[in-house]
Copies of this chain bind each other. A is one copy, B any other.
Amino acid sequence: MRSYGQYCAVARALDVIGDRWSLLIVRELLLHDGARYTDLRKGLPGIATNLLADRLRDLEEAGVVEREDAPPPVATTLFRLTERGRSLQPVLRALLAWGAPLLTDGQRGDEFRSYWLKFPLEAQLTDHAPDQPPVAIQVQTADEPMVVETVDGAVRARPGVVDDADLTLSGPPDIVLGVLMGALEPKAAKKRGLEYAGDPAVLRRLLR
């Protein structure tokens, strides 16, 4: 990117990560540290492959990303965030918070990966009854199942399955997200394609 040529911290930051796709690459690496080129392409639908290569090079030069030639049997290049790269998390969090209201008008044909739910869910949900036994919610939407669970008073979301989930949600991403963010009543959501099974109190415990 061409520099803004301004002696200002915001402008200098944007000189480094203001390029199109750059912050989304950082998002992918925050969600999936040690990703292969192909993983990044899958997580960045719409990016041109030459741009991904360019950006990775730029970010590497800027000290945000580092590449590691994994030894056999993997024998592939892994891309990681440096410490400096991980310190972009507050920027992503702020953007996430600002952008969250823009999700309420539905998916509108946008691409979606269910592990993208990790950040909004962990930001929004809190365990309001950490003394109670832990709970787990199984979420099924789009490409892969996710688990939302309480761990030591914190709420964690990860790809995966649990067989003893206290609550199971499945349906379109925007509906599932709406319910999990407390913006949509389960009753209304059922009419819009939500499958809902288990204990509703679990949701109230995390939402409040």
Contact = CB atoms under 8 A, between A and B. Distances in A.
A51 interface: no
A7 B98 contact: no
Contacts of A17: 98
A96 B7 contact: no
Q: Is the interface of A mostly helix, strand, loop or mixed?
A: helix
Contacts of A14: 23-24, 95, 99
A10 B107 contact: no
B107 A98 contact: no
* Number of copies of this chain that the complex holds: 2
Size bin of chain A's contact surface: 35 or more
B4 A24 contact: yes
Given A13-B102, A14-B24, A16-B102, A5 B93 contact: no
A193 to B, nearest CB: 15
Given A11-B24, A14-B23, A88-B98, 8 more contacts: A5-B109, A9-B95, A9-B96, A10-B23, A10-B24, A12-B102, A13-B102, A15-B102
Interface of A: 1, 3-18, 20, 23-24, 27, 45-46, 87-88, 90-100, 102-103, 107-112, 116, 119-120, 173-174
7 contacts: A5-B46, A6-B46, A7-B116, A9-B97, A10-B23, A90-B97, A94-B94
